[in-house]
Amino acid sequence: MNRDLTIIDAHQHFWDLSLGKHPWLCGDHQIPFRYGDYAALKAANYLPEDYLTDAANFNLVKTIYMEAEWDPVDPLGETAWVMDLHDRTGFPHAIIGQIWFMSDDVAEVLAGQAACSLMRSVRQKPAAAPSAEAFIAGAPGSMADPDFRTGYAQMTDNDLHYDLQTPWWHLGEAADLARDFPATTIILNHTGLPSDRSSGALDGWRAAMEVFAAQPNTAVKISGICVPGEAWTADLNRDVVLETIRIFGTDRAMFASNFPVDKLLASYDDIFGGFMEIVRDFPEADRRKLFHDNAARFYCPV
Protein backbone atom coordinates (compact mmCIF):
# COMPACT_ATOMS: atom_id res chain seq x y z
CA MET A 1 0.00 0.00 0.00
CA ASN A 2 1.47 3.35 -1.07
CA ARG A 3 0.70 5.91 1.63
CA ASP A 4 2.81 8.47 -0.22
CA LEU A 5 -0.04 8.84 -2.72
CA THR A 6 -1.10 12.50 -2.82
CA ILE A 7 -4.57 13.09 -1.35
CA ILE A 8 -7.19 15.80 -1.59
CA ASP A 9 -9.89 14.98 0.95
CA ALA A 10 -13.06 15.89 -0.93
CA HIS A 11 -15.43 16.10 2.06
CA GLN A 12 -14.63 17.06 5.66
CA HIS A 13 -15.92 19.41 8.38
CA PHE A 14 -14.62 21.84 10.98
CA TRP A 15 -16.49 23.38 13.91
CA ASP A 16 -15.96 25.55 16.95
CA LEU A 17 -18.62 24.66 19.50
CA SER A 18 -17.98 27.81 21.53
CA LEU A 19 -19.74 29.78 18.78
CA GLY A 20 -23.05 28.02 19.45
CA LYS A 21 -23.80 28.05 15.72
CA HIS A 22 -24.51 24.34 15.10
CA PRO A 23 -27.96 23.44 16.46
CA TRP A 24 -27.41 19.69 16.09
CA LEU A 25 -24.20 19.87 18.14
CA CYS A 26 -25.48 22.23 20.87
CA GLY A 27 -27.32 21.25 24.04
CA ASP A 28 -28.17 17.80 25.36
CA HIS A 29 -30.51 16.68 22.57
CA GLN A 30 -29.59 14.59 19.53
CA ILE A 31 -31.29 14.57 16.16
CA PRO A 32 -32.06 11.25 14.42
CA PHE A 33 -28.76 10.20 12.89
CA ARG A 34 -27.78 7.30 10.64
CA TYR A 35 -24.82 6.37 12.85
CA GLY A 36 -26.83 6.51 16.06
CA ASP A 37 -25.40 8.15 19.18
CA TYR A 38 -23.10 11.02 18.20
CA ALA A 39 -22.38 12.43 21.66
CA ALA A 40 -18.63 12.22 20.96
CA LEU A 41 -19.00 14.89 18.25
CA LYS A 42 -20.66 17.24 20.73
CA ALA A 43 -17.78 16.94 23.20
CA ALA A 44 -15.04 18.91 21.46
CA ASN A 45 -14.16 21.37 18.73
CA TYR A 46 -12.80 20.01 15.48
CA LEU A 47 -10.33 22.36 13.84
CA PRO A 48 -7.44 22.03 11.38
CA GLU A 49 -4.92 20.94 14.02
CA ASP A 50 -7.28 18.12 15.10
CA TYR A 51 -7.85 17.04 11.52
CA LEU A 52 -4.13 17.06 10.68
CA THR A 53 -3.44 14.84 13.69
CA ASP A 54 -6.00 12.34 12.43
CA ALA A 55 -4.58 12.43 8.87
CA ALA A 56 -0.91 12.45 9.89
CA ASN A 57 -0.07 9.10 8.26
CA PHE A 58 -1.04 10.24 4.75
CA ASN A 59 0.30 12.67 2.16
CA LEU A 60 -2.61 15.07 2.46
CA VAL A 61 -2.21 18.26 0.41
CA LYS A 62 -5.67 19.87 0.40
CA THR A 63 -9.13 19.52 1.92
CA ILE A 64 -12.62 20.50 0.80
CA TYR A 65 -14.79 21.90 3.60
CA MET A 66 -18.40 20.74 3.63
CA GLU A 67 -21.02 22.89 5.35
CA ALA A 68 -21.71 21.50 8.80
CA GLU A 69 -25.37 22.41 9.40
CA TRP A 70 -24.60 25.86 10.78
CA ASP A 71 -27.61 27.91 11.89
CA PRO A 72 -29.79 27.90 8.75
CA VAL A 73 -30.83 31.54 9.15
CA ASP A 74 -27.20 32.59 8.57
CA PRO A 75 -25.59 30.55 5.76
CA LEU A 76 -23.18 33.32 4.84
CA GLY A 77 -22.00 33.56 8.44
CA GLU A 78 -20.56 30.07 8.14
CA THR A 79 -18.78 31.05 4.94
CA ALA A 80 -17.22 34.07 6.64
CA TRP A 81 -16.07 31.92 9.55
CA VAL A 82 -14.49 29.32 7.24
CA MET A 83 -12.72 32.02 5.24
CA ASP A 84 -11.28 33.40 8.46
CA LEU A 85 -10.16 29.89 9.40
CA HIS A 86 -8.47 29.55 6.01
CA ASP A 87 -6.75 32.90 6.40
CA ARG A 88 -5.39 31.87 9.80
CA THR A 89 -4.45 28.24 9.12
CA GLY A 90 -4.35 27.63 5.35
CA PHE A 91 -7.24 25.14 5.67
CA PRO A 92 -9.54 24.39 3.96
CA HIS A 93 -8.67 24.91 0.29
CA ALA A 94 -12.22 25.04 -1.07
CA ILE A 95 -15.69 25.40 0.43
CA ILE A 96 -19.09 23.82 -0.10
CA GLY A 97 -21.59 26.26 1.42
CA GLN A 98 -25.09 25.99 2.81
CA ILE A 99 -28.15 26.87 0.70
CA TRP A 100 -31.93 26.56 1.08
CA PHE A 101 -33.63 26.42 -2.29
CA MET A 102 -37.12 27.05 -0.91
CA SER A 103 -36.16 30.20 0.99
CA ASP A 104 -37.28 33.65 -0.14
CA ASP A 105 -33.67 34.86 -0.11
CA VAL A 106 -32.21 32.01 -2.17
CA ALA A 107 -30.98 34.33 -4.94
CA GLU A 108 -29.28 36.65 -2.45
CA VAL A 109 -27.61 33.77 -0.59
CA LEU A 110 -26.46 32.10 -3.81
CA ALA A 111 -24.92 35.37 -4.96
CA GLY A 112 -23.19 35.77 -1.61
CA GLN A 113 -21.82 32.25 -1.70
CA ALA A 114 -20.64 32.63 -5.29
CA ALA A 115 -18.79 35.84 -4.33
CA CYS A 116 -16.54 33.89 -1.94
CA SER A 117 -13.18 33.14 -3.56
CA LEU A 118 -13.03 29.56 -2.20
CA MET A 119 -16.68 28.64 -2.83
CA ARG A 120 -17.09 25.83 -5.35
CA SER A 121 -20.43 24.22 -4.50
CA VAL A 122 -23.47 24.45 -2.23
CA ARG A 123 -25.45 21.82 -0.38
CA GLN A 124 -28.97 21.34 0.83
CA LYS A 125 -30.19 17.93 1.93
CA PRO A 126 -33.64 17.68 0.31
CA ALA A 127 -36.52 16.07 2.15
CA ALA A 128 -36.20 12.30 1.96
CA ALA A 129 -38.32 9.27 2.75
CA PRO A 130 -36.99 7.01 5.54
CA SER A 131 -36.98 3.95 3.27
CA ALA A 132 -37.45 2.91 -0.32
CA GLU A 133 -40.87 1.54 0.58
CA ALA A 134 -41.94 4.92 2.00
CA PHE A 135 -40.85 6.91 -1.07
CA ILE A 136 -43.53 9.25 -2.46
CA ALA A 137 -42.76 10.96 -5.76
CA GLY A 138 -42.79 14.73 -5.52
CA ALA A 139 -43.17 14.87 -1.74
CA PRO A 140 -42.93 18.37 -0.19
CA GLY A 141 -39.32 19.52 0.03
CA SER A 142 -38.04 16.78 -2.24
CA MET A 143 -36.13 17.36 -5.46
CA ALA A 144 -39.35 16.93 -7.43
CA ASP A 145 -41.23 19.55 -5.40
CA PRO A 146 -41.94 22.47 -7.79
CA ASP A 147 -40.88 24.97 -5.12
CA PHE A 148 -37.53 23.21 -4.67
CA ARG A 149 -36.97 23.19 -8.43
CA THR A 150 -37.84 26.88 -8.74
CA GLY A 151 -35.11 27.74 -6.27
CA TYR A 152 -32.70 25.25 -7.80
CA ALA A 153 -33.17 26.84 -11.22
CA GLN A 154 -31.31 29.87 -9.92
CA MET A 155 -28.13 27.79 -9.76
CA THR A 156 -27.72 28.46 -13.47
CA ASP A 157 -26.91 32.09 -12.63
CA ASN A 158 -23.88 31.07 -10.54
CA ASP A 159 -20.81 29.04 -11.41
CA LEU A 160 -21.35 26.55 -8.58
CA HIS A 161 -21.89 22.81 -8.30
CA TYR A 162 -24.64 21.22 -6.22
CA ASP A 163 -23.51 18.72 -3.57
CA LEU A 164 -26.40 16.36 -2.94
CA GLN A 165 -26.87 14.15 0.11
CA THR A 166 -29.84 11.85 -0.25
CA PRO A 167 -30.53 8.12 0.11
CA TRP A 168 -30.41 6.09 -3.07
CA TRP A 169 -34.17 5.73 -3.46
CA HIS A 170 -34.32 9.44 -4.37
CA LEU A 171 -31.74 9.20 -7.14
CA GLY A 172 -34.39 8.98 -9.85
CA GLU A 173 -35.49 12.49 -8.86
CA ALA A 174 -31.83 13.55 -8.78
CA ALA A 175 -31.35 12.23 -12.32
CA ASP A 176 -34.37 14.26 -13.46
CA LEU A 177 -32.89 17.36 -11.81
CA ALA A 178 -29.56 16.80 -13.56
CA ARG A 179 -31.26 16.27 -16.93
CA ASP A 180 -33.47 19.35 -16.62
CA PHE A 181 -30.64 21.64 -15.46
CA PRO A 182 -27.63 20.41 -17.43
CA ALA A 183 -25.46 23.45 -16.68
CA THR A 184 -25.17 22.47 -13.01
CA THR A 185 -23.01 19.54 -11.94
CA ILE A 186 -24.52 17.43 -9.16
CA ILE A 187 -22.00 15.69 -6.92
CA LEU A 188 -23.56 12.89 -4.89
CA ASN A 189 -22.35 12.71 -1.30
CA HIS A 190 -21.63 9.52 0.63
CA THR A 191 -22.08 7.07 -2.21
CA GLY A 192 -25.88 7.26 -2.09
CA LEU A 193 -25.98 6.05 1.54
CA PRO A 194 -25.95 2.26 1.05
CA SER A 195 -26.27 1.52 4.77
CA ASP A 196 -28.36 -1.63 4.29
CA ARG A 197 -25.97 -4.24 2.89
CA SER A 198 -28.58 -6.94 2.25
CA SER A 199 -28.57 -8.25 -1.31
CA GLY A 200 -31.99 -6.78 -2.11
CA ALA A 201 -31.09 -3.34 -0.83
CA LEU A 202 -27.78 -3.36 -2.69
CA ASP A 203 -29.58 -4.33 -5.90
CA GLY A 204 -31.84 -1.29 -5.47
CA TRP A 205 -28.90 0.95 -4.64
CA ARG A 206 -26.95 -0.24 -7.69
CA ALA A 207 -29.88 0.33 -10.07
CA ALA A 208 -30.52 3.81 -8.67
CA MET A 209 -26.84 4.75 -8.94
CA GLU A 210 -26.83 3.68 -12.59
CA VAL A 211 -29.86 5.87 -13.34
CA PHE A 212 -28.20 8.88 -11.73
CA ALA A 213 -24.77 8.26 -13.29
CA ALA A 214 -26.34 8.07 -16.76
CA GLN A 215 -26.61 11.86 -16.65
CA PRO A 216 -23.27 13.32 -17.79
CA ASN A 217 -23.34 16.24 -15.33
CA THR A 218 -23.07 13.99 -12.26
CA ALA A 219 -20.24 12.76 -10.04
CA VAL A 220 -19.88 10.93 -6.72
CA LYS A 221 -17.90 11.07 -3.51
CA ILE A 222 -17.04 7.68 -2.06
CA SER A 223 -17.38 8.45 1.63
CA GLY A 224 -19.72 8.04 4.55
CA ILE A 225 -20.01 4.26 4.17
CA CYS A 226 -19.47 3.23 7.79
CA VAL A 227 -21.80 0.46 8.95
CA PRO A 228 -22.87 0.80 12.61
CA GLY A 229 -21.72 -2.14 14.69
CA GLU A 230 -19.09 -3.25 12.17
CA ALA A 231 -15.44 -2.30 11.76
CA TRP A 232 -14.51 -0.33 8.62
CA THR A 233 -12.57 -2.86 6.56
CA ALA A 234 -11.68 -3.22 2.91
CA ASP A 235 -13.56 -6.50 2.81
CA LEU A 236 -16.77 -4.97 4.21
CA ASN A 237 -16.76 -2.02 1.79
CA ARG A 238 -14.98 -3.42 -1.26
CA ASP A 239 -18.08 -4.19 -3.30
CA VAL A 240 -19.69 -0.80 -2.65
CA VAL A 241 -16.48 1.03 -3.58
CA LEU A 242 -15.78 -1.01 -6.71
CA GLU A 243 -19.38 -0.91 -7.93
CA THR A 244 -19.46 2.87 -7.48
CA ILE A 245 -16.27 3.24 -9.51
CA ARG A 246 -17.61 0.88 -12.18
CA ILE A 247 -20.84 2.87 -12.48
CA PHE A 248 -19.31 6.38 -12.55
CA GLY A 249 -15.89 5.59 -13.96
CA THR A 250 -12.59 6.83 -12.63
CA ASP A 251 -13.16 10.34 -14.01
CA ARG A 252 -16.28 11.05 -11.92
CA ALA A 253 -15.51 9.47 -8.54
CA MET A 254 -13.37 10.70 -5.65
CA PHE A 255 -12.50 9.52 -2.15
CA ALA A 256 -13.29 11.49 1.01
CA SER A 257 -13.14 10.98 4.77
CA ASN A 258 -16.32 12.67 6.07
CA PHE A 259 -14.25 13.48 9.15
CA PRO A 260 -14.87 13.98 11.98
CA VAL A 261 -18.35 12.47 11.53
CA ASP A 262 -17.05 9.08 10.41
CA LYS A 263 -14.55 9.18 13.28
CA LEU A 264 -17.48 7.90 15.33
CA LEU A 265 -16.93 4.48 13.77
CA ALA A 266 -13.52 4.44 12.07
CA SER A 267 -10.08 6.03 12.14
CA TYR A 268 -8.66 8.06 9.27
CA ASP A 269 -6.20 5.21 8.75
CA ASP A 270 -9.07 2.72 8.53
CA ILE A 271 -10.85 4.74 5.87
CA PHE A 272 -8.07 5.96 3.61
CA GLY A 273 -5.98 2.86 4.20
CA GLY A 274 -9.03 0.83 3.22
CA PHE A 275 -9.57 2.83 0.04
CA MET A 276 -5.92 2.30 -0.89
CA GLU A 277 -6.19 -1.42 -0.29
CA ILE A 278 -9.34 -1.74 -2.40
CA VAL A 279 -7.84 0.00 -5.45
CA ARG A 280 -4.23 -1.14 -5.01
CA ASP A 281 -4.26 -2.95 -8.36
CA PHE A 282 -5.73 -0.04 -10.33
CA PRO A 283 -3.41 1.72 -12.81
CA GLU A 284 -1.47 4.53 -11.16
CA ALA A 285 -3.22 7.17 -13.26
CA ASP A 286 -6.63 5.98 -12.06
CA ARG A 287 -5.55 5.97 -8.42
CA ARG A 288 -4.32 9.55 -8.83
CA LYS A 289 -7.72 10.53 -10.19
CA LEU A 290 -9.61 8.93 -7.31
CA PHE A 291 -7.42 10.30 -4.53
CA HIS A 292 -6.46 13.68 -5.95
CA ASP A 293 -7.05 14.73 -9.54
CA ASN A 294 -10.86 14.54 -9.67
CA ALA A 295 -11.27 16.51 -6.44
CA ALA A 296 -8.81 19.07 -7.84
CA ARG A 297 -10.82 19.35 -11.06
CA PHE A 298 -14.21 19.76 -9.35
CA TYR A 299 -13.17 21.86 -6.36
CA CYS A 300 -9.60 23.24 -6.69
CA PRO A 301 -9.06 24.04 -10.36
CA VAL A 302 -6.38 26.66 -9.62
Q: pLDDT grade, residue 142 (50/70/90)? A: very high
Q: What integer is the mean pLDDT of 238-248?
A: 98
Which CATH number fits the domain 6-299, given the four candidates 3.40.1230.10, 3.20.20.140, 3.40.190.10, 3.30.2320.80? 3.20.20.140
- Quick one: which of 174, 154, 173, 153 has its CA closest to 163? 174
Contacts of 235 (CB under 8 A, 6+ apart): none
In our burial notation (b when 16+ CB lie closer than 10 A, e otherwise), range 107-137 reads eebbebbbeeebbbbbbbebebbeebeebee
Write down how long the chain is: 302
Tell me what the pLDDT averaged over the chain comes to.
96
C-alpha span between 253 and 250 (Å, rounded): 6
Write the pLDDT tens digit of every residue in 75-121: 999 999 999 999 999 999 999 999 999 999 999 999 999 999 999 99
pTM of the model: 0.97
Q: Model confidence over 158-205: pLDDT tens digits?
A: 999 999 999 999 999 999 999 999 999 999 999 999 999 999 999 999
Question: Domain extents for the chain?
Answer: 6-299
